[in-house]
A and B are shown apart, each in its own frame.
Chain A
Amino acid sequence: MDEYRILSPTGIVGYGFPEESFRAGLAQKPDLMACDAGSTDPGPYYLGSGKSFTTVTAVKRDLSLMVRAACELKIPLVIGSAGGAGGNKHVEREKGILLEIAEEEGLSFRFATISAEFDKDFLIGELKKNKITPLGAAPDITEKDLKDSSCIVAQMGTEPIIAALEEGAQIILAGRCYDPAPFAAPAIRLGYSPALSIHLGKILECAAIAAIPGSGSDCMMGYLGEDYFSIEPLSANRKCTVTSVAAHTLYEKSNPSLLPGPGGTIDLSQCEFLQETERRVKVRGTVYNTAAINTVKLEGSKLVGYRTVCICGNRDPIFISQIDDILEKLKIRVRENLSGTSSNYNLDFIVYGRNGVMGILEPEKNAVPHEVGIIIDVVAETQEYASTVCSVARSTLLHHGYDGRMSTGGNLAFPYSPSEMQAGAVYKFSAYHLLENNEPVKIFPRTHFTVRKGKLI
């Protein structure tokens, strides 16, 4: 079996990568270029709103380098979780950028989009059949949660990508995707071990994060053989060590030895990590256990309201010594001062210097800092009402009289005028569940396109 070379240009399309590293990768004649573009890390807003956490300019820069190279080398280019959250709107944005690049460069290729967004009625039917179960610490889901969601996607496995390649696509823009799938699918299709392909994909999807120094925006090369894989960063300033690669397997997961994904789990407990050269690490011994029941992971997000915030600070030792009490009383005062209005809002104070970063997890509960930063955080049904509540909370707190007050000029220092900022729509995750399903290709429909000399035909 020939060694299969996979170039991972960057951790997320739109995070950028140095052209020098990229050219070093292309010089090694990769068989595949793949990139992950998504994550739930930035929170529920992006999935719910259909927006991306990367900008068009940054994505176009990265994608144009990748597309041009894929066309020159005549190799597949697979983008997973296109547009960030991987809903249809996100994939559509990425498709628009791809077509712009094709037109500007006069390129010719066949490409496919794969939808990962799910119809709510279908999911409600599956919920009634008990096919949807919470994942880990996620709460139970109701029919209403599904109905209220503005977007629900599932992470596809390797199967729909393999199908799109079989059907002749050279470039694939996949919706929400299991992160390793864009790297693993083309290799599995050619007969490489699923265990090694997925484990390698798991490392490559983060680009050079597994190197020292680590980077999510520099290129990494993977070399896949019959019973091993190796990885090496493409910037001469970085190297992979046994420690850096083994440490990476811990990142962002609950159990470092067992990594579950759609269709099965890879087991790393018997893995050997060997320092092959000064900058290259070889891995053997990954095992793949096919799941008895095939599942895909659902992610959903729903609108909860609109946010207005006010950022301010306080430097008064008397105020700070009573701050918890003052803010509790203030919540009551604000409610009184707004009686007769909707009253449907959530008012929260984030107090930096006290427990702003850790909230209820903060162990140092009695620290008295010399100054505090306060965010008055209001979420309500409309933007106008959120701003109303925030404004009333701000003016009430500014002039609030507390025990022993000396600084009667005002309790708050505002860095800005205007003091309130409208932060727009607020979403929350409404689904993080497993969907039992035995048709891993069919539930992720593919659409094929042909571009000739820059024109969609």
Chain B
Amino acid sequence: MKTRLRNLAAVIRSKNSGPYELTLDIIFKDRKTFERVVTLGVINKPLVAKLYSLKPEQVLSVINFAPSCAIKATIVRPCGSGDLGERDVYGAQQHAPLMNLEFDL
């Protein structure tokens, strides 16, 4: 059955991690779902690169963090925070492409 990430997660957010990196957190509603998504391996570097139109090397990491039932991806910011061309100084509104991701669970 196909389901969207926004139905599986309690938190989907983005935020600066320093002025040059942006970090995306997905905190799942329960451990079972988290473990299922991790086992399927659907949230990975190529997926994040595709969602945000990035080169593979611009996705710095995708980390599973079991204590919080969370998956965290960190990407290179399009520019240093506040540089010319900035769109989101705090990086707090870059999460939306994750919300409608669809999976077969």
CA distance A360 to B58 in the complex (A): 13
Contacting pair B87 A356 (CB below 8 A) = yes
**Chain A residues with CB under 8 A of B82:** 43-45, 427-429
- Cβ-neighbour of B70 out of A256, A273, A359, A426 (below 8 A): A256
Q: Are B21 and A254 in contact (CB under 8 A)?
A: yes
At the interface, yes or no: B105 with Cβ under 8 Å from chain A? no
| B68 x A249 contact (CB < 8 A) | yes
A357 neighbours in B (Cβ, 8 Å) = 87-88, 93-94
Q: A115-156 vs B: 1/0 string, CB under 8 Å?
A: 000000000000000000001111100000000000000000
Whether A137 lies near B20 (C-beta < 8 A) is: yes
| Nearest chain A CB to B93 CB, angstrom units | 5
A40 adjacent to B84 (CB under 8 Å): no
Shortest Cβ distance from residue B76 to the other chain A in the assembled complex, whole angstroms:
5
Q: Is A413 an interface residue (CB 8 A)?
A: no
Contact of B85 with A359 in the complex, beta carbons under 8 Å:
yes
A3 to chain B, nearest CB (A): 24
Taken residue by residue from 337 to 363, chain A's Cβ proximity to chain B (1 for < 8 Å, 0 otherwise) reads as 000000000101010000111111101
Q: Is the CB of B72 within 8 A of A256?
A: yes
CB-defined contacts of B72 to chain A, threshold 8 Å: 250, 254-256
Answer yes or no: A246 CB below 8 A from chain B CBs: yes
A22-46: contact bitstring with B at CB < 8 Å (1 yes, 0 no)? 0000000000000000001111110
| In-complex Cβ contact of B84 among A249, A355, A428 (8 A) | A428
The dominant DSSP class at the A interface is loop
Q: Quick check: A255 and B78 within 8 Å, CB to CB?
A: no
- Residue-wise interface mask of B (33-57) relative to A, using a CB-CB cutoff of 8 A (1 in contact, 0 not): 0000000000000000001111000
Are A254 and B67 closer than 8 Å at their CB atoms? no
Counting CB contacts under 8 A, is A243 at the interface? yes
Give how many A-B residue pairs fall within 8 Å (CB-CB).
133
Q: Check A429–B19 contact: CB distance below 8 A.
A: yes
Task: Check B53–A360 contact: CB distance below 8 A.
Answer: yes
Q: What residues of chain B lie closer than 8 Å to A402, measured between beta carbons? A: none
Judge if A449 is at the interface, Cβ distance under 8 Å. no
Q: Would A358 and B87 count as touching, CB distance under 8 A? A: yes
A178 vs B40: C-alpha distance in the bound complex, in angstroms?
38
A278 smallest CB distance to B (angstroms): 20
Counting chain A residues whose Cβ lies within 8 A of the other chain, the interface size class is 35 or more
Query: What is the CB-to-nearest-CB distance from B25 to chain A, in angstroms, rounded to a whole number?
Result: 5
Contact A432 B23 (CB under 8 A): no
Also in contact, A138 and B20, with CB within 8 A (given A249-B67, A359-B78): yes
CB of A40 within 8 A of CB of B61, answer: no
Q: Would you call B16 and A136 a contact (CB within 8 A)?
A: no
Asked if A398 is at the interface of the complex by the 8 Å CB criterion, the answer is no
Considering the complex, which residues of chain A in the window 361-376 have a beta carbon less than 8 Å from any beta carbon of chain B?
A: 361, 363
CB of A54, distance to nearest CB on chain B (Å): 16
Residues of B within 8 Å of A273, CB to CB, are 67
Docked pose: A273 CA to B41 CA in angstroms: 26
The closest CB in chain A to the CB of B73 belongs to A254
Q: Are A250 and B68 in contact (CB under 8 A)?
A: yes
* Binary contact readout B66-96 vs A (1 if CB under 8 angstroms, 0 otherwise): 0111101010111011111111111001101
A250 touches B27 (CB 8 A): yes
**Interface: A271 (CB within 8 A):** yes
Alpha-carbon distance between A432 and B11 when the two chains are bound, in angstroms: 29
* Measured CA separation A429–B96 after assembly (Å): 27
Cross-interface CB contact of A255 among B20, B61, B76, cutoff 8 Å:
B61
Contacts of B25 in A (CB 8 A): 250-251
Do the beta carbons of A429 and B65 come within 8 Å of each other?
no
Instruction: Tell me the minimal C-beta distance from A344 to chain B in angstroms.
Output: 13
> For the complex, is B8 an interface residue (Cβ under 8 Å from A)?
no
Residue-wise interface mask of A (217-260) relative to B, using a CB-CB cutoff of 8 A (1 in contact, 0 not): 00000000000000000000000000100110111111111000
Q: Say if the beta carbon of B5 comes within 8 Å of chain A.
A: no
Most buried by A among B65, B74, B77: B65
| Complex alpha-carbon distance, A354 and B1, angstroms | 32
Question: A304: CB under 8 A from chain B?
Answer: yes
A269 to B, closest residue via Cβ: B67
Taking the nearest CB of chain A, how far is it from the CB of B8, in angstroms? 15
Tell whether B6 is near chain A: CB-to-CB under 8 Å: no
Q: Which of A135, A136, A251: most chain B CB closer than 10 A?
A: A136
Partner of A247, one of B70, B76, B84: B70
Given contact pairs A45-B82, A357-B93, A429-B82, A254 touches B88 in the complex (Cβ within 8 A): no
> Given known contacts A426-B84, A429-B83, what 16 new A-B pairs fall within 8 Å (CB)?
A43-B86, A44-B80, A138-B80, A139-B80, A250-B25, A252-B15, A253-B17, A254-B60, A256-B68, A256-B70, A256-B72, A346-B84, A360-B53, A361-B54, A361-B97, A363-B53
7 contacts between A and B (CB under 8 A): A43-B81, A136-B20, A136-B60, A137-B20, A139-B80, A252-B16, A429-B81
